[in-house]
Amino acid sequence: MTWTRPTIALAVVLWLPACSPPQDRIQLNGVAGSMPATVVLDGRRGGCFEDEKANGPTALFGNVLSRQTCHSEIIAFAEGTAMNIQTDVNAWTDSSGDLLPITMAPELVVPINLFIMSGDFDTHDEAKREAQARLDVARATQIYSSGECGMNFSVNLAKDETSGAFRADLLTAECTGNVGRFNAIDPLLTSKPGIKVFYVDGPSGLEGQTCPDGQTAVIIITVSSSNETLAHELGHAFSLGHANEPKLEMTPDNLMMSPASSPAALTLGQCYRTNVNQESVVNKSAFRTGLQRTCADDVADSECLVLKFKK
């Protein structure tokens, strides 16, 4: 008998993963690919949801369903562009793969008018104090722009007022009760558009102070200030309060702690308020146009991001 080797058939089974459905996404146009960006979304899935976050110029959100009765809103933040808010968004469908493009505008430019009323702490030199003031403005831009607040600051004018015709007591006065007197040191220039910042000697123990002045603000910066002080006072001009209250649960490095730490930062919840609050100088002075709201620091609801909301 002839023995023949039996043929054995091998069955190879390949396990291939199931294809995932495409995600819904929001595309921020006008944002450089390397720039940080954060998108916050309200919408509907199984039920309504609020303040879901995704990062990047292309923000992925799974499958967002048609809004029905849910609050549907998009808030987009990105370094180098202005904050963008889209309300009553009806573009989502129940199918996955929706693409919502949002065109981002350039950052808001907020003009700063510098009035140098006294010299620097060490040498009492006006030129050194003006140089410090310009560095304060640059530091404020760094904090607000890199924090995705959507704004930067430009020195609209810088004027040496050290020999101005004002009473010497104004050098150590608070701005409270003295807004008119500060404005009177150079009426032709203090009437120009912009946030007015007066560099003074200052009351003992005070680094800076902000006082409302109609559509804008009067800020005093003392010789005891740090390079975070102007940015902190601008936060007050933009409607932010101090972050020291335990109920706000802010971290010690927050810019609005009193005194401000160094280095300091802002949360997205704070950036949101600087942009939308009616009492913010950017709205009162028409540096910004668009939707306005009233969001106190301790309010968090469908229209107000919680203050400590981070990118």
Query: What are the boundaries of each domain within the chain?
Result: 25-103, 108-284
36-64, pLDDT tens digit by residue?
999 999 999 999 999 999 999 999 999 99
15 confidence band (pLDDT: 50, 70, 90): low
SS3 of the chain: CCCCCCCCCCCCCCCCCCCCCCCCEEEEECCCCCCCEEEEEEEECCCEEEEEEEECCEEECCCCECCCCCCCEEEEEECCECCEEEECCCCCCCCCCCEEEEECCECEEEEEEEEECCCCCCCCCHHHHHHHHHHHHHHHHHHHHHCCCCEEEEEEEEEECCCCCCCHHHHHCCCCCCHHHHHCCCHHHHCCCCEEEEECCCCCCCCEEEEEECCEEEEEECCCCCCCHHHHHHHHHCCCCCCCCHHHCCCCCECCCCCCCCCCECCHHHHHHHHHECCCHHHHCCCCCCCCECCCCCCCECCECCCCCCC
171-194 mean pLDDT: 97
129-157 mean pLDDT: 97
Percentage, residues of the chain above pLDDT 70: 94
Report the 10 Å Cβ neighbour count for 198.
Answer: 27
Specify the pLDDT at position 192. 95
pLDDT of 106 > 50? The answer is yes
pTM of the model: 0.92
19 confidence band (pLDDT: 50, 70, 90): low
245-275, pLDDT tens digit by residue?
999 999 999 999 998 888 899 999 999 999 9
18 confidence band (pLDDT: 50, 70, 90): low
- For the 108-284 domain, the top CATH level (class) is alpha beta
235-244 mean pLDDT: 97
Q: With left for phi above 0 and alpha for psi between -120 and 50, is residue 88 left, alpha or beta?
A: left
**What is the residue-averaged pLDDT of the chain?**
93
Residue 37 to residue 256: CA distance in whole angstroms: 22
148-158 mean pLDDT: 97
Specify the pLDDT at position 181. 97
289-309 mean pLDDT: 96
Please answer whether residues 280 and 240 qualify as being in contact, where contact means their C-beta atoms are separated by less than 8 angstroms: no
53-105, pLDDT tens digit by residue?
999 999 999 999 999 999 999 999 999 999 999 999 999 999 999 999 999 99
